[in-house]
Amino acid sequence: MCNLFGRIFVVKRTMGNKYVLLFLAIFASQQIWSQQMTLKKGTILQNLPVHDSISDTFSLYLPTYFTTEEQWPLLIVCDLKGEEKRTLSMFLHAAEEEGYILAAPKLSDTLSLSSNVTKTANTVQAISGLLPIHKSGVYTAGQGSGARFANLAPLFIKRVKGTLSIGASIANIELLSPKRPFHFIGIMNKNDYNYSSMKRVKRVLDRFKFPNHLLLYQQTTEWPEIGFLSKALQYFTLMSMRRNEIPADSVYIQKVYKDDLEKINDLKSTKRFLATEQHIDGMMGIYGVYKNLDSLRMIQRELRKDRIFKGMKRGENAAVLKESLLKEDYDYYLEEDVITHNFNNLGWWNYQMTELNKFIAGTNPYEKQMGNRLKGYVNALAEDNIDIVKSEDLIDEDALAFLYMLKTVLDPENFDFYLKIISLSAKNEDFGTALFYLEEALKNGFNDADKLHNLEHTALLRIDPKFNEVVSKYLKGARYQVNEK
């Protein structure tokens, strides 16, 4: 494969080192031609070409103090939703603090895994030909679906030595091999339904002796605080030093270690004892070759003897056991209900959501986390089943209708599924069901009249006087005349 960037002939810096001008030799179609590319530091550069013969592009960020006189680690940020600039921007602060180049290939969830892997590998190759990237310093990162893809990259791209996964565990642990180790760092919230699978993956990685760390944050948001991203990059750097891939920097090691000790003290002072123990475990795995950790072991032993800690541990274990039993129920009943089109069981599912909401509103912090995880789990389970039904050559529309109705129970503020069941019911001329879910959506706050009136398969429904009566009741006016008797 021809490398777009060829080799660098001349490098020079302009006023204030604001730009790096790279004069590149580019070989294409058996013709030699040259191009000057200007890369501005401290800003996200978009639509840079991956290769001269294909249209793939990537975004790039160079730290403000970037220089070509030294080698740099590269973090490939993965996003499958067409928001690579936004996702990449989440890592800017961490990249500046820890000295990482950022890049985001243009990926898509509509493409096959092999296509996205190829795009990522080509981006790594292109950047390595353009910039001084450390040969053992290439990592991937992502959030959600981007994280699930990023987790697979080290298995297929040899140069990728580690992955940073936010809100997602490794999708298929059967692909892991002790012969192909990589550094895994997970960042997770205990309210996330992926937390349980993340812990299982961590046990597998421990068994395979993969370096791995799990960082837990408190706020119930998709993205953690910026400090967690910086900490993850610090751990990548420390592990690279530990493997003698880069020189050990005692000043840097001491600084990061001090930060971690302050984190331990902060967790203890706020009585977050479970998080304290977990963070100590992570430190043991990263600092063992650099520091005498006897003082940390002492803290850990004292913590495990503490009566409050033991109570917390029992409370969390009890919630985890209850969660596993409820998951088994959800798995079993959902499979049965989809196969048998058991619309009568929607009441049972509504009762389950009521019970989960009680856990979430309760005072037991472990049951509160459990309730949030289970809500996320059952919603994901339903959506997975929708994808399975829709992928069949002959779609079972009754099963699909049940799942759409179930989603309105599981996630009553997500109006997409009300609209889907209205459309599907109208298609099959079941106007009673369509009108029922129309009114339920409007009761719950749906107010997009244009979206409603352009809904597929609803032409006959929209001229029904009952449709217009319902719309007029909740919205300012209906598009069709309502005949008053």
pLDDT digits (tens, 9 = 90+) for 318-371: 999 999 999 999 999 999 999 999 999 999 999 999 999 999 999 999 999 999
Q: Tens of pLDDT along 154-204?
A: 999 999 999 999 999 998 888 898 888 999 999 999 999 999 999 999 999
Which of 196, 224, 248 terminates a domain? The answer is 248
Residues 75 and 143 in one domain: yes
Is 46 domain-assigned? yes
Is 303 domain-assigned? no
Q: How far is CA 53 from the centre of its chain?
A: 32
| pLDDT computed for residue 31 by the predictor | 31
Neighbours of 63 (CB within 10 A): 18
Query: How high is the mean pLDDT of the chain?
Result: 89
| pLDDT computed for residue 10 by the predictor | 30
d(CA 149, CA 171): 8
d(CA 89, CA 43): 9
Contacts (Cβ under 8 Å, ≥6 apart) of 359: 367, 368, 370, 371, 374
Three-state SS for 34? strand
- Once rounded to an integer, what is the mean pLDDT over residues 430-450? 95
pLDDT beyond 60 at 24: no
pLDDT beyond 70 at 483: no
Residues 320 and 341 in one domain: yes
For residue 158, the surrounding DSSP H or E stretch is none
Structural domain boundaries, residue 124: 8-248
Residues 139 and 59 in one domain: yes
Domain count, the chain: 3
Is 193 domain-assigned? yes
Q: What's the burial of 212, exposed, middle or buried (CB within 10 Å: 0-12/13-18/19+)?
A: buried
Residues 339 and 351 in one domain: yes
Residues 88 and 215 in one domain: yes
Instruction: Please say whether the beta carbons of 379 and 331 come within 8 A.
Output: no
Residues 71 and 144 in one domain: yes
| pLDDT computed for residue 220 by the predictor | 81
Residues 136 and 178 in one domain: yes
Residues 19 and 153 in one domain: yes
Which of 228, 248, 268 terminates a domain? The answer is 248
Is 114 domain-assigned? yes
Residues 122 and 237 in one domain: yes
Cross-strand partners of 212: 184
Closest CA to 313 of 369, 265, 366: 366
- Once rounded to an integer, what is the mean pLDDT over residues 105-111? 94
pTM attached to this predicted model: 0.86
Instruction: Please say whether the beta carbons of 128 and 106 come within 8 A.
Output: no
Contacts (Cβ under 8 Å, ≥6 apart) of 143: 79, 87, 90, 166, 167, 168, 222, 223
Q: What is the CATH number of the domain that holds 155?
A: 3.40.50.1820
Per the listing, tokens 């009553």 go with 412
Which of 351, 386, 411 terminates a domain? The answer is 411
Residues 97 and 18 in one domain: yes
Is 448 domain-assigned? yes
Residues 157 and 66 in one domain: yes
The structure tokens listed for 184 are 């895994």
* Alpha-helix runs per DSSP H in 218-341: 226-242, 250-269, 273-287, 294-305, 307-340
Residues 33 and 159 in one domain: yes
| pLDDT computed for residue 478 by the predictor | 57
Three-state SS for 461? helix
Confidence of residue 304 (pLDDT cuts 50, 70, 90): very high
